[in-house]
Amino acid sequence: MKSHVIVGRGAAASKTALLLAEEGERVRMISRSGGGPDHPLVEKVAADATDADRLTELAEGADTLFTTAVPPYHAWPEQLPILTASLLTAVRRTGAAYVMLGNLYAYGPVDGPIAPDFPLAATGPKGRARARAWEEAAASGVQVTEVRAAQFYGAGAFSVFSFTVQRPVLEGRLALVPQELDVPHSYSSVGDTARTLVAASRDEQAYGRAWHVPTATLPVRELAGRLARLAGAPEPRMEQMTERDLTLLAFTDPLWGEMHEVLIKPGQPFVVDFSETEKVLGVSATPVDDVLREVI
C-alpha cells in the first residue's frame, strides 16, 4: 500500500488527502492544529513543519510528500523560506517524491495567457519568495514538481473571491472587490487543484517542471452573478476597491496592504494556459456551475 504525507490542512490539502485515501492509499496530514478530514486511511498529526527533524521523522517511508502549506500572507518573504527549507531537507533525507502547490505570483506581470514555461520574473517580495522556493527545489536534485493554481474558488476555498465576494453575494450584501469587475480572470477550483496534484504525483513526466491547474476564465461580476442565480440570491451589488481603500484597510489588517503587489494592470485580462495539464496529465476544468453548486 502506498503512503503519502501532506503538509497543510486547508481545502486543497483535505481534498487531496481524500482523493488518495479513497483509492486505498494511506495519508498522514501534518499541520500545527492537527486538522483534516475524517477517513480511516487519513492520519492527522499536529506538528510544526518548520522543524526539519520532526518533519523527517513523520515523512519517513512515504512515497510522496505534498506541501500545500503557507505562512500568513503578509509574512511570506520572511517565513516561506524557513518552511520550504525544512520541507526540502525532509525530502532529501527520506527520498520521497516532492509535489509542491504554488501559485502564479512568481511570474510577475505578463502579457497574454500565462504558460508554465514562462520565466519567473516577479520583482515583488511575495513573487520572489515563491520563485525562490521552486528554483531551490528544482536545483536540489530531488524528484520534484510544482502545481501552480490561479485564484481559488469552490467549497472551502480561502481567496479574494471567497472572502470578498462569495459571502456578501449569498447574503444579499454589497461586495467590495480588490480587482476589476468586468475583466476576464482565471480561477482554479479546489477540486481541480487536488486532482492535478494527485495526477502530477503519479506521472514520471511531471517531475522536473511546473504544471498549471485547469481554470475557468470569466469576469468576477459574471462569476458572482452565476453564484447568485444558482443560490436564488438577489442580483449581486458590487464595487471595485481603490488602491486608497486597500491602503486604509491595511491599518486594520496587514493582508490588505499586501494586495498592492498582486493587482493586475488596469484593463488587462489575467488568463492561464493549462493546455499541457489537459494533454499530459488528463485533468480538465470542472464546469463553473458544478463548482458553485458545491459551494452553495
- Contact between 59 and 96 under an 8 Å Cβ cutoff? The reply is yes
Residue 246 pLDDT > 90, yes or no? no
pLDDT of residue 260: 67
pLDDT of residue 264: 66
Residue 154 pLDDT > 80, yes or no? yes
**Lowest mean pLDDT: which of 39-53, 160-174, 224-238, 239-253?**
239-253
The per-residue pLDDT for range 72-117, each reduced to its tens digit, is: 888 889 999 999 999 999 999 999 999 999 999 999 888 889 999 9
pLDDT of residue 226: 98
pLDDT of residue 263: 66
Q: Which of 153-167, 240-254, 282-296 has the highest mean pLDDT?
A: 282-296
Residue 36 pLDDT > 90, yes or no? yes
pTM of the predicted protein model: 0.94
pLDDT of residue 186: 96
Residue 1 pLDDT > 90, yes or no? no
The per-residue pLDDT for range 5-24, each reduced to its tens digit, is: 999 999 999 999 999 999 99
Averaged over 185-193, what is the pLDDT? 97
The per-residue pLDDT for range 119-147, each reduced to its tens digit, is: 999 988 999 999 999 999 999 999 999 99
Percentage of residues of the chain with pLDDT beyond 70 = 97
pLDDT of residue 81: 96
Residue 257 pLDDT > 80, yes or no? no
In the predicted model, what is the mean pLDDT of the chain?
94
Binned at pLDDT 50, 70 and 90, residue 283 comes out as: very high
Cell matching residue 165: 465576494
Averaged over 50-69, what is the pLDDT? 98
Residue 255 pLDDT > 80, yes or no? no
The per-residue pLDDT for range 230-244, each reduced to its tens digit, is: 999 999 999 998 888
Neighbours of 242 (CB within 10 A): 11
